[in-house]
Structure 1
């Protein structure tokens, strides 16, 4: 894989964090403790993963800012650049022993994501992209799907639980999109949903009220794979407001019209 110096630093950091999480994941599957105990164990695994990434990224680029999964932002000596990091995306999957979770990092420059990595350690798939250089999985160039018929499209989203305020919106979305497409999947890791759109596995994805570290890396993947990416509300900011709708060029307008028709 040939990338910039920043890209190589990001890949090394995500792989190191991924190795740490794989060891912890094996322990989660064998835990004979209360759910609270398992939750505490996973919380420690996330902290360990993010610490590994922080140490490696800050050592390599000490002037860059930092925004991690704990929500605490650190402004660097260079205010134009910051890392946006998720030490573990797909926490519930990880906690339940489901091998679908990821580590991700995005580099933001002057408010724009310019480089990213999403690593799926359980499957050995590393997705990465740089602005203007395309999107890749391991050493293979990836592209969004070529489907042109909405009724053949497979889409992904997140499903909030009953205590979250966006549940009614999501239920209305599903009522509109399900009759028009081949299906909707909820796999529980936004970074991988976006990576799978970039790889043509899903034809589109939408979700509201996400955190910056959930989607920052995946947004660039989809763009560099030839996809269309916008906030659901056009005047919003995808990273700051945590919402996204994306698909290939042929399906985007019809897909977006359905989701935005509330």
Structure 2
């Protein structure tokens, strides 16, 4: 295990991976069938991972990489039984990238003894690098970030996400619809944006006031969860319990905002 984390090395590696795709942004032909769609997704993943593994190999020679697929629900329910490993969402928002629209990032998390130790989210289009280390705070381009201090729900921005459910869960769409209705009833602005990790980082930075999602989506959440938590946001389930790895919902907001939302929807 590499006890010392060489932060700049990690940030530089993630930036190199993101900037590789920035140079080619909107140059691809938008996939028109499933064969092309999945081929492009696989290519993005392969190229991104190649850059990250090459750049981090010297400083983290003994740190393996997570090999569990992000659509493997069972594999997302608990961390690997390893002292340390990397978990990468090679491109969070890859569909947006392929469709030539904003909202895609490179996300990387370092897991130690089953807990989030370090994470980074890089948005190449905005040239913004969010990162956090356990117990040491969260940062955007080197400056500390904090969640929202708003008190008027009428001017708060709440976002909702919808995870892939394979196989389909009976009644899930109805539950999701009720959750969106609850958000609409309490907050002035409700949106769906796309990249999970970046939205969580935005909660940490006070740009988004509430993030809400039903369903299991652990790998898409992890990097953003550490950033939001270290910034000072509450990391809860949709029912208001403290979130833990494997929980099948997520609610992230400043403490006062989260508590009021939960109380008012009951």
Alpha-carbon distance between aligned partners in 2 of 1:235 and 1:203, rounded to the nearest angstrom: 18
Shift of 1:234: 6.2
Determine the structure 2 residue equivalent to 1:93: 96
Equivalent residues in 2 for 1:68-147, closer than 5 Å: 70-71=69-70, 79-147=82-150
Determine the structure 2 residue equivalent to 1:11: 11
Alpha-carbon distance between aligned partners in 1 of 2:42 and 2:223, rounded to the nearest angstrom: 22
Shift of 1:147: 0.8
Contact 1:102–1:121 under 8 Å retained in 2: yes
Cα separation, partners in 2 of 1:237 and 1:42, compared to 1, 3 Å:
same
Cα separation, partners in 2 of 1:10 and 1:238, compared to 1, 3 Å:
farther
Structure 2, unaligned runs of 5 or more: 76-80
Alpha-carbon distance between aligned partners in 2 of 1:44 and 1:69, rounded to the nearest angstrom: 18
RMSD of Structure 2 on Structure 1 (CA): 2.7
Determine the structure 2 residue equivalent to 1:227: 233
Shift of 1:57: 3.0
Contact 1:147–1:250 under 8 Å retained in 2: no
- Structure 2 counterpart SS, 1:239: coil
Structure 1, unaligned runs of 5 or more: none
Alpha-carbon distance between aligned partners in 2 of 1:69 and 1:100, rounded to the nearest angstrom: 24
- Structure 2 counterpart SS, 1:155: strand
Cα separation, partners in 2 of 1:50 and 1:211, compared to 1, 3 Å:
farther
Alpha-carbon distance between aligned partners in 2 of 1:234 and 1:63, rounded to the nearest angstrom: 38
**Farther off after superposition, 142-151 or 99-108:** 142-151
**Farther off after superposition, 63-72 or 50-59:** 63-72
- Structure 2 counterpart SS, 1:66: coil
Shift of 1:161: 7.5
Alpha-carbon distance between aligned partners in 2 of 1:33 and 1:206, rounded to the nearest angstrom: 30
- Structure 2 counterpart SS, 1:25: coil
Pair 1:61 & 2:67 matched? no
Equivalent residues in 2 for 1:22-33, closer than 5 Å: 22-28=22-28, 31=29
Alpha-carbon distance between aligned partners in 1 of 2:156 and 2:144, rounded to the nearest angstrom: 22
State the TM-score, normalized to the length of structure 2: 0.83
Query: 185, 201, 214: which one pairs with 1:195?
Result: 201
Count of aligned residue pairs for this structure pair: 251
- Structure 1 counterpart SS, 2:202: helix
